[in-house]
């Protein structure tokens, strides 16, 4: 699809309109990263300030050590969090939100609030849908 300037765009209408087609693969990667459940929870937990690794693990139930380490590295790679190592005994490392994640933090917090507010409705819909799909046709 071409716009009036002659560049390929991802779509003619909708949220992808105006985005150059050659950027869509990267944008999907970014959305996968920031939309990942662990990434969103890490961003939410870091909202109140820097935390050490063990504090992050304590505040995010269900995350494995491997997944926490992997997700922290990815978020740091993208510039969404910072990692500060302090030359102390024992060594201390803290993670904090980077300036780039300022707007993302607000979006993540709103998504978490929305999920919490609609928890009962979604659970009931899933139960109803599950009951309907398990009944004979």
Same domain, yes or no, for 54 and 26? Answer: no
Same domain, yes or no, for 66 and 123? Answer: yes
Separation CA 52–CA 68 (nearest Å) = 12
Are 50 and 96 a contacting pair, CB within 8 Å? yes
Same domain, yes or no, for 123 and 56? Answer: yes
- Mean pLDDT by groups of 10 residues along the chain of 137 residues: 57 84 88 90 95 96 97 96 93 95 90 92 90 61
Separation CA 104–CA 43 (nearest Å) = 8
93 strand-pairing partners: 85
Same domain, yes or no, for 116 and 70? Answer: yes
Has residue 91 been placed in a domain?
yes
Same domain, yes or no, for 12 and 47? Answer: no
Total domains, the chain? 2
Separation CA 94–CA 109 (nearest Å) = 21
Q: Let me know how long the chain is.
A: 137
Q: pLDDT tens across 74-93, in order?
A: 999 999 999 999 998 888 99
Query: Which range of residues forms the domain containing residue 122?
Result: 37-131
Has residue 9 been placed in a domain?
yes
Q: Which pLDDT does position 90 carry in this prediction? A: 87
Are 115 and 94 a contacting pair, CB within 8 Å? no
Of 94, 73, 74, 71, the closest CA to residue 83 belongs to: 94
Same domain, yes or no, for 62 and 21? Answer: no
Same domain, yes or no, for 77 and 53? Answer: yes
């Amino acid at each position: 699809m071409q716009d009036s300037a002659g560049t390929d765009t991802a779509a003619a209408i909708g949220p992808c309109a105006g985005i150059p087609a050659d950027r869509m693969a990267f944008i999907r990667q970014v959305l996968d990263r920031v939309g990942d459940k662990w990434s969103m929870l890490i961003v939410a937990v870091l909202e109140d300030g820097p935390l050490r690794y063990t504090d992050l693990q304590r505040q995010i139930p269900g995350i494995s050590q491997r997944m926490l380490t992997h997700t922290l590295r990815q978020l740091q790679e993208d510039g969404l969090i910072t990692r500060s190592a302090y030359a102390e005994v024992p060594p201390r490392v803290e993670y904090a939100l980077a300036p780039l994640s300022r707007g993302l933090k607000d979006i993540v917090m709103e998504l978490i609030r929305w999920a919490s507010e609609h928890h009962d409705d979604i659970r009931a819909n899933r139960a109803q849908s599950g009951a309907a799909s398990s009944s004979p046709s």
